[in-house]
């Protein structure tokens, strides 16, 4: 156990590239971090993979492609990560100008290989060894959906009785959320468990209706992690900083962003004794908590 006032140290930093926005993070069951970064200037969405203990980037600038066409899936922009299983990552493409996802790509980022892909289905739920998916077809000019199960490792159909909408909804409600499956702790806006005497929080406005200040927090054992978001009265620009206390001793702090037109909310999390947060839009930082 670290002494109460021993500072925490940065394990590694990942620079996503000039103009990037680190957009999505997931953690495989084999311990790797998989993320997506987005470049709005030329509408590119790329994936990266990092070994959390060492910070080694073993895959970067990965572009999801349509195997049949050899062209970027989702026009190179409308893509993301659906779920994980074991060491595999399941990505999707989305229909342009629509929130509906289309297709599943099962990728092993340790090799950069597509294990299997299907563009005729859309992901609904991760049930472990199998996924609940749907197919959309048109009948009489109207869209119809058929629900089915596929093997998570092969993408092949699994023969089971047909499901109706009520059964599908029941399955979806029973599925364990991704953050729980991946042991991710996300921040909340509540102050429960945060000591009033923490240095740097004295007098900080935590009112729900405050227009010039916000904060998010995670209480993690003896550690309290807080993101402070403060708006300058004259410029109306926001400054966001992250601070970590061990009991009542401040052991880490850094500015996450300054001069923004809005606060950098939901930009940190904890997973496997590591704190991850964004500095600016394009730098991902990992701090060891133990």
Q: Where are the domains of the chain?
A: 18-182
Q: State the pLDDT at residue 143.
A: 73
Q: State the pLDDT at residue 148.
A: 95
Share the mean pLDDT of the chain.
90
Q: Residues 17-41: pLDDT tens digits?
A: 999 999 999 999 999 999 999 999 9
Whether the CA torsion 193, 196, 201, 203 is positive or negative: it is positive
pLDDT at 208 over 70: no
Q: State the pLDDT at residue 224.
A: 94
The CATH number fitting domain 18-182, selected from 2.40.128.630, 2.60.120.10, 1.10.8.60, 2.30.30.90: 2.40.128.630
Q: State the pLDDT at residue 2.
A: 60
Q: State the pLDDT at residue 98.
A: 78
Q: Residues 19, 282: contact at Cβ < 8 Å?
A: yes
Lowest mean pLDDT among 184-198, 208-222, 247-261, 274-288: 184-198
Q: State the pLDDT at residue 189.
A: 80
| Structure token digits, residue 236 | 């109306």
Band of pLDDT at residue 61, cut at 50, 70 and 90: very high
Name which residue leads in pLDDT, 65 or 189: 65
Q: Residues 75-133: pLDDT tens digits?
A: 999 999 999 999 999 999 987 777 789 899 999 999 999 999 999 999 999 999 999 99
Band of pLDDT at residue 214, cut at 50, 70 and 90: confident
pLDDT at 192 over 60: no
Band of pLDDT at residue 209, cut at 50, 70 and 90: very low
Q: State the pLDDT at residue 47.
A: 98
Q: State the pLDDT at residue 280.
A: 93
Lowest mean pLDDT among 128-142, 192-206, 275-289: 192-206
pLDDT at 239 over 70: yes
pLDDT at 200 over 70: no
Average pLDDT over residues 178-195: 82
Average pLDDT over residues 231-260: 93
């Amino acid at each position: 156990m670290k002494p109460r006032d021993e500072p925490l140290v940065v394990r590694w930093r990942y620079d996503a590239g000039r103009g990037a926005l680190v957009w999505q993070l997931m953690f495989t069951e084999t311990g790797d971090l998989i993320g997506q970064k987005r470049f709005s200037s030329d509408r590119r969405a790329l994936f990266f993979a990092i070994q959390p203990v060492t910070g080694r980037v073993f895959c970067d600038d990965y572009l999801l492609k349509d195997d049949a066409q050899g062209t970027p899936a989702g026009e190179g922009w409308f893509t993301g990560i659906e779920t994980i299983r074991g060491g595999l990552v399941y990505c999707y493409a989305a229909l342009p100008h629509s929130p509906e996802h289309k297709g599943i790509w099962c990728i092993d980022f340790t090799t950069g290989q597509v294990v299997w892909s299907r563009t005729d289905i859309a992901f609904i739920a991760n049930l472990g060894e199998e996924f609940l998916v749907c197919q959309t077809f048109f009948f009489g000019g109207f869209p119809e959906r058929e629900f089915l199960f596929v093997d998570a490792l092969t993408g092949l159909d699994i023969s089971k009785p047909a499901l109706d909408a009520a059964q599908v909804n029941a399955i979806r409600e029973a599925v364990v959320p991704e953050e729980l499956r991946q042991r991710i702790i996300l921040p909340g806006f509540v102050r429960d468990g945060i000591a009033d005497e923490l240095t740097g929080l004295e007098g900080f406005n935590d009112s729900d209706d405050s227009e010039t200040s916000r904060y998010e927090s995670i209480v993690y054992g003896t550690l309290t992690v807080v993101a402070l978001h403060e708006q300058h009265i004259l410029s109306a620009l926001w400054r966001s900083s992250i601070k970590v206390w061990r009991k009542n001793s401040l052991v880490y702090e850094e500015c996450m962003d300054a001069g923004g037109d809005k606060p950098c909310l939901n930009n940190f999390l904890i997973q496997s004794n590591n704190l991850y947060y964004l500095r600016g839009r394009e730098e991902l930082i990992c701090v060891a908590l133990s």
